[in-house]
């Protein structure tokens, strides 16, 4: 889910960055009124994310272009699948081509890696969630890509919830005092989460009746102890040092959520091309 108004503002920046003064190659190589038909196709198996954004890019640059979408975000498609077809002014299509491909390749790559992590926790109660460690300017769309891959979104921004971390706790003089201070001004429907890296902190956060306790960089053994200690009275989130190699064992401890920045920061762009329609 993303906002189209905000997306169009981003698209304007992307196109301005890529085009500069003009698409010199298109201007000198293609006559003004030449037309063409092109298809965006998957060159590998992938999970689709951002195809509607690609449509908006083409239409934003030239509203006269005719764009037909053949897949939807969240679809798993095979190599060779045609994702969309764009027809119209050839200069316009080729000028907007790279921007459209870049965003779909990036977002689909995130969806692909997210799906791998989701599969690694299948059969457990744990749900995969993302973090705020996103590419500046692309958070809204990268978090959308996470949901396309089956993951969940953590905070969209700093205004989405209260996360009490070690430095907040240090300033306030302890978890209980930090939670008390936060609750004085906390909006009534806003959740409060506390970061803990020791079991005694988990006990203190539990006694303070927080909504979520983050188990930060804890050992698997300590996570399991925390799950037993909490006994379902609040939600537990495991974070720190999460990878495909470790997430399965962590999920078996019984935590509710596992957050990782890897699904954004370690994802690879997928291979997608734009070719002349046959």
Is-catalytic flag, 216?
Answer: yes
Is-catalytic flag, 98?
Answer: yes
Residue with tokens 């300590």: 222
Domains of the chain from N-terminus onward? 4-117+267-276 (3.90.1170.20), 123-265 (3.20.20.70)
Residue with tokens 């003009």: 22
pLDDT of residue 60: 98
Nearest Cα residue to 93 out of 42, 11, 21, 30: 30
pLDDT of residue 278: 79
Residue among 216, 222, 237, 256 flagged as catalytic = 216
Question: Residue 184: is it exposed, middle or buried by C-beta count within 10 angstroms (0-12/13-18/19+)?
Answer: exposed
Is-catalytic flag, 106?
Answer: no
Is-catalytic flag, 31?
Answer: no
Is-catalytic flag, 193?
Answer: no
- Quote the tokens at residue 227: 């799950």
Nearest Cα residue to 48 out of 150, 151, 145, 130: 145
Cβ neighbours around 153 below 10 Å, total:
16
Answer yes or no: are the C-beta atoms of 216 and 239 closer than 8 Å: yes
Residue among 98, 127, 191, 252 flagged as catalytic = 98
Answer yes or no: are the C-beta atoms of 41 and 82 closer than 8 Å: yes
- Quote the tokens at residue 142: 């990268």
Which positions of the chain have pLDDT values less than 50? none
Residue among 195, 204, 237, 256 flagged as catalytic = 195
Residue with tokens 């909490």: 230
Residue among 72, 125, 165, 233 flagged as catalytic = 165
Nearest Cα residue to 108 out of 58, 146, 71, 138: 146
d(C-alpha 46, C-alpha 199), whole Å: 41
Answer yes or no: are the C-beta atoms of 133 and 143 closer than 8 Å: no
């Amino acid at each position: 889910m993303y906002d189209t108004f905000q997306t169009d503002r981003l698209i304007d920046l992307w196109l301005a960055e890529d085009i500069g003064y003009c698409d010199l190659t298109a201007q000198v190589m293609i006559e003004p009124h030449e037309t063409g038909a092109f298809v965006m196709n998957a060159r590998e198996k992938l999970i689709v994310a951002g195809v509607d954004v690609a449509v908006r890019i083409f239409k934003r640059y030239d509203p006269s272009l005719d764009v037909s979408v053949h897949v939807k975000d969240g679809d798993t498609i095979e190599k060779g699948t045609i994702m969309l077809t764009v027809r119209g002014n050839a200069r316009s299509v080729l000028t907007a081509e790279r921007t459209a491909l870049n965003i779909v390749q990036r977002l689909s790559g995130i969806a692909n890696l997210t799906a791998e992590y989701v599969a690694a926790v299948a059969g457990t109660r744990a749900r995969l969630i993302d973090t705020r460690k996103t590419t500046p300017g692309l958070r809204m769309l990268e978090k959308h890509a996470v949901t396309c891959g089956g993951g969940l979104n953590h905070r969209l921004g700093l205004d989405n919830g209260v996360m009490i971390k070690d430095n907040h706790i240090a300033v306030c003089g302890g978890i209980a005092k930090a939670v008390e201070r936060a609750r004085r001004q906390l909006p009534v429907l806003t959740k409060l989460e506390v970061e803990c890296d020791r079991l005694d902190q988990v006990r203190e956060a539990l006694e303070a009746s927080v909504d979520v306790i983050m188990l930060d960089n804890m050992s698997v053994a300590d996570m399991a102890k925390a799950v037993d200690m909490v006994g379902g009275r609040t939600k537990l989130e495991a974070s720190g040092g999460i990878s495909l190699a470790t997430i399965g064992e962590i999920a078996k401890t019984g935590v509710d959520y596992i957050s990782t920045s890897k699904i954004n920061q370690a994802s690879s762009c997928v291979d997608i091309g734009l070719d002349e329609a046959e």
